[in-house]
Structure 1
Amino acid sequence: MNDLERPRLLTVAEFRQLIGEKIVGRDLAYALARRYGVRLGKRLLIPMRVAHAFLEGRLEELEKTPGVEARGR
């Protein structure tokens, strides 16, 4: 699959499948989606860059990126 065919936004279920359902539970996946994701209507989507950052242990860098702010409660 080339870069044009890869989804840039993942559903929570797709994110869990990509990372591993035993590694990322449902609650953690939704917490990450609320903090770093986007909402389109009722859908909560996680950008692929968040998945890459999670796998590489760089989530804290996302909060330091200019112009990109983590949202959370």
Structure 2
Amino acid sequence: MNAPKLLTVAELREVLGPDRVGRDLAYAIARRYGVRLGKRLLVPLRVVEAIAEGRMEELEKTPGVEARGR
């Protein structure tokens, strides 16, 4: 099975559970850890997995995965 390496915000919510992650939080995660390809905002699968497994502090320390704010 080839799982996509980049997920849309809707897919992020589906994986993490729409009852646990609201639309606003999903977009905040995507803006902070995701990438924009054209008009699409995509989140790497490893970020979603880290959130699901409670390893967010690991993301903060990972080179190449920098938190971006506005």
Pairwise TM-score range, normalised by the shorter structure: over 0.9
Amino acid at match of 1:29: A
What is the DSSP-based 3-state SS (H/G/I as helix, E as strand, rest coil) of the residue aligned with 1:71? Answer: coil
Moved over 6 A (4+): none
- Percent identical residues: 73
TM-score, scaled relative to structure 2: 0.92
Residue ranges of structure 2 left out of the alignment (5+ in a row): none
Aligned partners of 1:67, 1:17: CA distance in 2, in Å?
25
TM-score, scaled relative to structure 1: 0.89
Deviation digits for residues 21-63 of structure 1 (CA, Å, limit 9, x no counterpart): 0000000000000000000011000110011000111112111
Higher relative contact order (CA 8 A, sep 6+): 2
Q: CA RMSD in A?
A: 1.0
The reply on whether 1:11 has 2:8 as its aligned counterpart is yes
The reply on whether 1:46 has 2:22 as its aligned counterpart is no
Between the two proteins, the alignment pairs up a number of residues equal to: 70
The reply on whether 1:65 has 2:62 as its aligned counterpart is yes
